[in-house]
Chain A
């Protein structure tokens, strides 16, 4: 045991503490990876197929949608199947960040009240837990891409910044929503209500470019449209609109600023709320 320097508990609150929490939590990756993995496994505990259910369930969904709605899409059944396989998984991942975000802290209340782990550990855990099914579902999308032989171009590299932006947004959104929902319990009900509508108003089961008039316009006011398009379009060999990149980049900044503001004001009170 070595002697340690004096560490006075500095009771400053502020953005510095929020960023410190983010960095300290990130460094404990073994903790949140283990937690996320344990939770994922326990969800499929004692089932024979286990986590394979994620892939199987998604394959059934995608094939079902493509069978029933494929003939409505002008792009043809093959591309439409890929479109759904990419878009729906992305939608689920993005919305999971908001829905899981509501319980990211309140669901870990016993840990928050008994340990001094950085709060961001729960956020990273939750994000990783949402990334896992997303990755599994992507195998179905990859299979569809290979099966229908989508031409691969250099623009496919754009999925890398898109994924980085997803993760950056996921962290900030979960932190923000987690704090708000811990304090204001109505938020999680609101989020559930809204997400049910978003399934229809987001272009995942229908193609935005094929719609003229109001629906196409409404889609552009839905941020999810742009988040999904920056990831889906490059993988379908289609160009991404600069508008979508601008919206996503802009919202990323907004979400981080809001998360930092909320954390500055609310973080210290969190153990009383959960």
Chain B
């Protein structure tokens, strides 16, 4: 049984010499102290509390949708779950092979062809060359890129990159799939195909984590919801209930 659980995860996103001292002092005076911002002893901005005490537990077959305003920590949480960022405190409990699609187009070699990127992506995910050749046909067919596969990825549109990334990320039977806003670049036809593939994937007891602003997409693909508000879990439960609470909160603003 696959498992993905966050146990009291907190993460401060460090900032290095980005905002000037004067600017951050003015901002602070204007808008009052933001409790998420961390100031150094001389008043400089040194970090942002990206995640604070995040808790949840998922088992095989669970499909979690993450909602929250811009800057609420959704992508950072996904990066922690994917193993890219190490949290400052708390623990992750993971059982299963993770595959992530957090930033479309990141982790591609732009100068290499689409076909070459399939091989490189597969190798980078730890698959054997034989395994990749096995899936190559399937990936190429799913991406529907046709002759573009022999052209460098730098010539692709963002939608085309997304197709290829999604095809690669889902081709090797991931057990835990972590996705961020990836559907925004896809056309209706591809969204349908992707939803079908995810459904199949979850039916084989995988775990899906998907962050999105699109409520109908989340309702269609997820059964659980997690609402992040300023880096903290505001609500966690049935997707419909969480979305309702989140929308109500957004409207009240």
Contacts and interface: CB of A to CB of B under 8 A. Distances in A.
A1 B1 CA distance: 11
Interface string A217-237: 000000000000000000000
How many chain A residues sit at the interface, stated as a range, is: 20 to 34
B95 interface: yes
A268 B85 CA distance: 8
Q: How large is the interface on B (under 10, 10 to 19, 20 to 34, 35 or more residues)?
A: 35 or more
B66 interface: no
B107 interface: yes
B94 A271 contact: no
A262 to B, nearest CB: 16
Contact of B16 (A115, A117, A273): A273
Contact of A30 (B13, B100, B129): B129
Interface stretch (A5-13, A76-84, A251-259): A5-13
A241 interface: no
Contacts of B96: 4
Given A31-B123, A272-B13, A8 B91 contact: yes
A272 B1 CA distance: 33
Interface stretch (B20-28, B108-116, B139-147, B220-228): B108-116
A117 B124 CA distance: 7
Contacts of B204: 1
Given A35-B109, A114-B100, A11 B129 contact: no
B124 A115 contact: yes
Q: Which 6 A-B pairs have the closest CB atoms?
A: A114-B106, A114-B107, A42-B111, A9-B92, A110-B106, A116-B83
Interface of B: 1, 3, 13-14, 16, 79, 82-87, 91-98, 100, 102-103, 106-107, 109, 111-112, 116, 119-120, 123-126, 129, 173, 175, 204
